[in-house]
Amino acid sequence: MPSALPDGEPVPHDGALPASALAGAAARPLGFYLHVPYCATRCGYCDFNTYTATELRGTGGVLASRDNYADTLIDEVRLARKVLGDDPREVRTVFVGGGTPTLLDAADLVRMLGAVREEFGLAADAEITTEANPESVDPAYLAALREGGFNRISFGMQSARQHVLKVLDRTHTPGRPERCVAEARAAGFEHVNLDLIYGTPGESDEDWRASLDAALDAGPDHVSAYALIVEEGTRLAARIRRGEVPMTDDDVHADRYLIAEEVLSSAGYDWYEVSNWATSDKARCLHNELYWRGADWWGAGPGAHSHVGGVRWWNVKHPGAYAGALAEGRSPGAGREILTEEDRRVERILLELRLREGVPLDLLRTEGLAASRRALADGLLDPGPYEAGRAALTLRGRLLADAVVRDLVD
């Protein structure tokens, strides 16, 4: 959840949605994203809506504190119940993300999940994930999460090389994420993900291969690999501008992506979204699939985004303002937009083209279809699915996914 918020129309004080958003809801899956906006220290590359204790000091008093955060977030889950009214849906996925969710007590995360269960009910096979920083968990913590109903965990490994972790300002040591996977398995987690970043200044091809090998040796059933994005306004961007660390270029990113695909696919991890690989369909992240397929999700927490039936809204960013709104019985929503048919068409193309299954060609207009034929001729789209009416990226297409999608939405 990047930290910049769009403009939009105001959200009503009670958070009410237009009737059109709730129409036909029973047929759509519902997920919950629970944001935890705290980190022990801020990584120099990170632009997410998260705050260190120092950054919060003097900016929101007790309201912004993480001590009572779980109760505040639970207030928003209760508000969601009121807004969604007699919506009969059980929740298919819950994803606790950050920030660093595991800076809170495990009991707090379990209570937050409990509020979703109490207000909505969880589907029998619900996927319940939390993100975790490797340095912030131990076997007892992981056992408490598992006993409390979490069944999937995602560790921010990023790299196996100390010099790369240092440029990223990560505080864990090489080897710790791999031990976390073993500890999570011992605690009974069936699904475990490792997040990796490639293209960090100073990282070599060999460093990247070592990171992939170390991740695979740990035996997660899911790996996410992201190209490092140098976000404006971050400490890393400033260091690159000052020439303290080199910028990596697109060719390096492409080479690293090809290495990832080669190493992961030969170890039995199949890509299902441009940045995500899993050992089986059951190991895919269902929560992210809800986002990518335009389902309904409620994002609770400061700066969190939600989408229900074509209405997208986002919360105020600061934990103090967020808690203040809920304490006064108001929705923490800062703005919203009601998506037009055209917005939804474009969004489907943007998101679904990145999936292995691709996007139906009948979503494309004349110009987009012509662009798809060019992309096919250029080897960026796969002929088999194209014949069957879908635009699905080839490996070369995945390297150029942003450019392909730009042409297809016309």
Ligand X SMILES: C[S@@+](CC[C@H](N)C(=O)[O-])C[C@H]1O[C@@H](n2cnc3c(N)ncnc32)[C@H](O)[C@@H]1O
Query: Segment near ligand X (CB under 6 A), from 22-30, 226-234, 352-360, 378-386?
Result: 226-234
Q: How far is the CB of 357 from ligand X (least distance, A)?
A: 24
User: From ligand SF4, ligand X, none, which one binds at residue 197 (CB under 5 to 8 Å depending on kind)?
Assistant: ligand X
DSSP 8-state class, residue 241: H
Tokens matching residue 281: 């369909």
User: From ligand SF4, ligand X, none, which one binds at residue 42 (CB under 5 to 8 Å depending on kind)?
Assistant: ligand SF4
Q: How far is the CB of 52 from ligand X (least distance, A)?
A: 12
Nearest to 193 by CA among 99, 125, 263, 95: 95
CA-to-CA separations, 202 to 60, 156, 242, 246, in angstroms, rounded: 38, 19, 16, 7
* Total number of residues that touch ligand SF4 (CB under 6 A): 11
Query: How many CA atoms does the CB half-sphere of 264 hold within 13 Å?
Result: 29
Pick out residues in 135-174 that bind ligand SF4 (CB under 6 A).
156
Helices 205-218 and 176-187, interaxial angle, to 10°? Answer: 20
Helices (H) and strands (E) in the chain, counts: 17, 14
- Which one, 48 or 386, has the nearer CB to ligand SF4? 48
Among 50, 248, 279, 331, binds ligand SF4 (CB under 6 A): 50
Edge-to-edge strand ranges of the sheet holding 91-98: 270-273, 276-278, 222-227, 191-198, 152-158, 122-132, 91-98, 30-36, 296-300, 305-308, 311-315, 333-338
Tokens matching residue 145: 């999460």
Are 134 and 155 contacting, i.e. CB atoms less than 8 angstroms apart?
A: yes
Among 100, 129, 200, 279, binds ligand SF4 (CB under 6 A): 100
Nearest to 44 by CA among 230, 172, 178: 230
Nearest to 11 by CA among 384, 394, 338, 392: 338
- List of residues 6+ apart from 242 with CB closer than 8 A: none
CA-to-CA separations, 71 to 64, 91, 130, 339, in angstroms, rounded: 12, 20, 18, 32
User: From ligand SF4, ligand X, none, which one binds at residue 228 (CB under 5 to 8 Å depending on kind)?
Assistant: ligand X
Among 5, 8, 18, 48, binds ligand SF4 (CB under 6 A): 48
- List of residues 6+ apart from 224 with CB closer than 8 A: 154, 193, 194, 195, 196, 275, 276, 277
Q: How far is the CB of 286 from ligand SF4 (least distance, A)?
A: 22
Q: Which residue, judged by CB position, is nearest to ligand X in the bound state?
A: 156
Among 226, 245, 293, 351, binds ligand X (CB under 6 A): 226
Among 42, 345, 356, 365, binds ligand SF4 (CB under 6 A): 42
Query: Segment near ligand SF4 (CB under 6 A), from 42-50, 247-255, 280-288, 352-360?
Result: 42-50
Q: How far is the CB of 101 from ligand SF4 (least distance, A)?
A: 10
Query: Segment near ligand X (CB under 6 A), from 45-53, 116-124, 213-221, 249-257?
Result: 45-53
- Which one, 98 or 220, has the nearer CB to ligand X? 98
- Which one, 285 or 371, has the nearer CB to ligand X? 285
User: From ligand SF4, ligand X, none, which one binds at residue 69 (CB under 5 to 8 Å depending on kind)?
Assistant: none
Dihedrals phi, psi of 346, to nearest 5 degrees:
-65, -45
* Total number of residues that touch ligand X (CB under 6 A): 16
Query: How many CA atoms does the CB half-sphere of 216 hold within 13 Å?
Result: 20
Q: 239: exposed, middle or buried (C-beta count within 10 Å: 0-12, 13-18, 19+)?
A: middle
First to last CA, the chain: 26
Binding mask 120-149 for ligand X (x = CB under 6 A): -----------x-x----------------
Q: 109: exposed, middle or buried (C-beta count within 10 Å: 0-12, 13-18, 19+)?
A: buried
Residue 194 engages ligand SF4 in binding (rule: CB under 6 A): no
Among 21, 187, 228, 349, binds ligand X (CB under 6 A): 228
Pick out residues in 16-35 that bind ligand SF4 (CB under 6 A).
none
Among 17, 39, 126, 187, binds ligand SF4 (CB under 6 A): 39
Residues engaged in binding ligand SF4 (CB under 6 A): 39, 42-43, 46, 48, 50, 98-100, 133, 156
Residues engaged in binding ligand X (CB under 6 A): 45-46, 48, 97-98, 100, 131, 133, 156, 158, 195, 197, 226, 228-229, 231
